[in-house]
Amino acid sequence: MTSSPTDPTRLPLLPPGFVWGASTAAYQIEGAAEEDGKGPSIWDTFVRRPGAVRDGHTGEVACDHYHRLDEDVALMRGLGLDAYRFSVSWPRVLPAGTGKVEPRGLDFYDRLVDALLDAGIQPTPTLFHWDLPQALEDEGGWLNRETAYRFAEFAAVTADRLGDRVERWITLNEPFVHMAFGYAFGVHAPGRALMLDALPVAHHQLLGHGLATAALRAAVPDARVLLANNCTPVRLRPDARSDGDAAAAAAYDTLHNRLFNDPVLTGAYPDLSAYGMTDPGWGGVVRDGDLEIVSAPLDGLGVNYYNPSWVTAPADPAAGLPFDLAEPQETYRRTAFGWPVVPEGLTELLTGLKDRYGDALPPVWITENGCSLPAGQRDPERVDYLAGHITAVADAVARGVDVRGYFTWSLLDNFEWAEGYHQRFGLVEVDFATGRRTPRTSFAWYRDLIASQRP
């Protein structure tokens, strides 16, 4: 037995009943992009755009999970997972986004749910992890309010089929990242570079979240509904001096965190005047009654955490945004992506949510957390990363935050969006030429951690 700080038996114990999980997403792992009647998604389109994805990689085959479901569930069983977070591909279920249902698409998730339950693993589906049906994008995507209603239709169809066995549901994954990367900067699908004109995408996604929540509860009376937000503690650099820096940090916090947490938890949008938005109705985007739908009580807030953000006043205020993202002055270890490794940022984030929302904060679930590292089966850096962040969760719990579960990103190496297969986040290494899976050192560590956390 080792006595290193990463020895799983030395980590603090999370409360009884704490749920240990792993996360993936449909487009990142499934492959089978045109199989069994699946319609195209915006990612199927975007990956064909020259230069959009590093080295022209696509998710056409990905981890081939669509054909390797049993093998992958066996891996999860080997880990001893309590829960598995996957996403349901909307265009697999509704190839045109609305209307005609493709039963073979639903059959796949039906089999997955049964296999998970057989393995003692709670299925935790996310309904939207960025793969919008292309047919809906052709009608404006999330810029079009109608998409919110189509999302509720998709939620109802899926819940109708799986709701007899699935209790915990996640509506959207990271509406901030989808708005910012997909619609404001155009580095993700659908590749629109609208900058601040992308704001309606925030509201339409959140409206979709609220409508889908109602649809899930109508179909599954004991449904537990979560929203998974990407959250970041916003930090000033130690050399920050001016009020301008503090105002920039507040503006970034508003855009990244509060825009997506406030309406859901408090029923009101934050002040967006730093973004030139002074009309509470956003020029007709936010309509009477919408915020009641958006703020339907949640059973849990999903938090995806990777790192803090450092912000300064914009060097060029005329450039359009009220902040600049900056590099930290401190030296941190970095992941292969170059992201700083700051486990205590997760404690800061969680206690900050509690301070901000108080009793309006529902139980929190860490729905993603992990790191990309170079290829290879020995990954002590990932073990360090996980141990540090899980300890940070335990610290937040000790300080009064009600955290119910932790899902690591990710079970498998997978298609990392604009980075293609270059960033590897898996507990399991995937050889993308052959599909072969090889559990890493971190897999054994996470298995031992889960076992040592059980009574």
Residues in the site for ligand BGC, rule: CB under 6 A? 25, 28, 173-174, 177, 230, 304, 368, 409, 416
Is residue 70 a contact partner of residue 136, using CB atoms and an 8 Å limit? no
For the CB of residue 390, give the shortest distance to ligand BGC in the complex, in Å: 18
For the CB of residue 169, give the shortest distance to ligand BGC in the complex, in Å: 16
Q: Is position 368 annotated as part of the catalytic site?
A: yes
Is residue 263 a contact partner of residue 206, using CB atoms and an 8 Å limit? yes
Gap between the Cα atoms of 98 and 89, Å rounded: 13
Say which of 368, 381, 416, 429 is annotated catalytic: 368
- Closest among 364, 370, 231, 348 to 302, alpha carbons compared: 364
For the CB of residue 208, give the shortest distance to ligand BGC in the complex, in Å: 17
The Cβ of residue 307 has, within 10 Å, a number of other Cβ atoms equal to: 20
Gap between the Cα atoms of 376 and 67, Å rounded: 24
For the CB of residue 252, give the shortest distance to ligand BGC in the complex, in Å: 17
For the CB of residue 5, give the shortest distance to ligand BGC in the complex, in Å: 25
Question: In terms of CB distance, is 64 or 131 closer to ligand BGC?
Answer: 131
**How distant, in Å, are the alpha carbons of 7, 8, 337, 445 from that of 428?**
20, 18, 18, 12
Question: In terms of CB distance, is 304 or 453 closer to ligand BGC?
Answer: 304
For the CB of residue 304, give the shortest distance to ligand BGC in the complex, in Å: 6
Q: Which amino acid is at 332?
A: Y
How many residues can be counted in the chain? 455
Question: What's the token pair of residue 37?
Answer: 């009647």
- Closest among 447, 361, 432, 427 to 81, alpha carbons compared: 447
Gap between the Cα atoms of 296 and 287, Å rounded: 16
Q: Which residue has the tokens 């897999």?
A: 443
On the CB side of 197, CA atoms within 13 Å amount to 5
For the CB of residue 337, give the shortest distance to ligand BGC in the complex, in Å: 7
For the CB of residue 207, give the shortest distance to ligand BGC in the complex, in Å: 21
> How open is the CA angle 50-176-239, to the nearest 5 degrees?
100
Question: In terms of CB distance, is 42 or 219 closer to ligand BGC?
Answer: 42
Q: Which residue has the tokens 């739908």?
A: 293
Rg (CA), the chain: 21
On the CB side of 25, CA atoms within 13 Å amount to 26
Question: In terms of CB distance, is 173 or 254 closer to ligand BGC?
Answer: 173
Question: In terms of CB distance, is 28 or 261 closer to ligand BGC?
Answer: 28
Question: In terms of CB distance, is 44 or 174 closer to ligand BGC?
Answer: 174
Question: In terms of CB distance, is 151 or 306 closer to ligand BGC?
Answer: 306
- E strand spans, 327-453: 364-368, 403-409, 428-430, 437-439
Gap between the Cα atoms of 276 and 181, Å rounded: 20
Backbone angles phi and psi of 346, in degrees to 5: -75, -40
For the CB of residue 241, give the shortest distance to ligand BGC in the complex, in Å: 32
**Residue 86 belongs to what H/E stretch?**
strand 83-87
Question: In terms of CB distance, is 409 or 446 closer to ligand BGC?
Answer: 409
Question: In terms of CB distance, is 202 or 240 closer to ligand BGC?
Answer: 202
Say which of 102, 174, 381, 429 is annotated catalytic: 174
Contacts of 303 (CB under 8 A, 6+ apart): 228, 229, 231, 349, 350, 353, 364, 365, 366, 367
Contacts of 332 (CB under 8 A, 6+ apart): 340, 341, 342
Contacts of 388 (CB under 8 A, 6+ apart): 341, 343
Catalytically active residues are: 174, 368
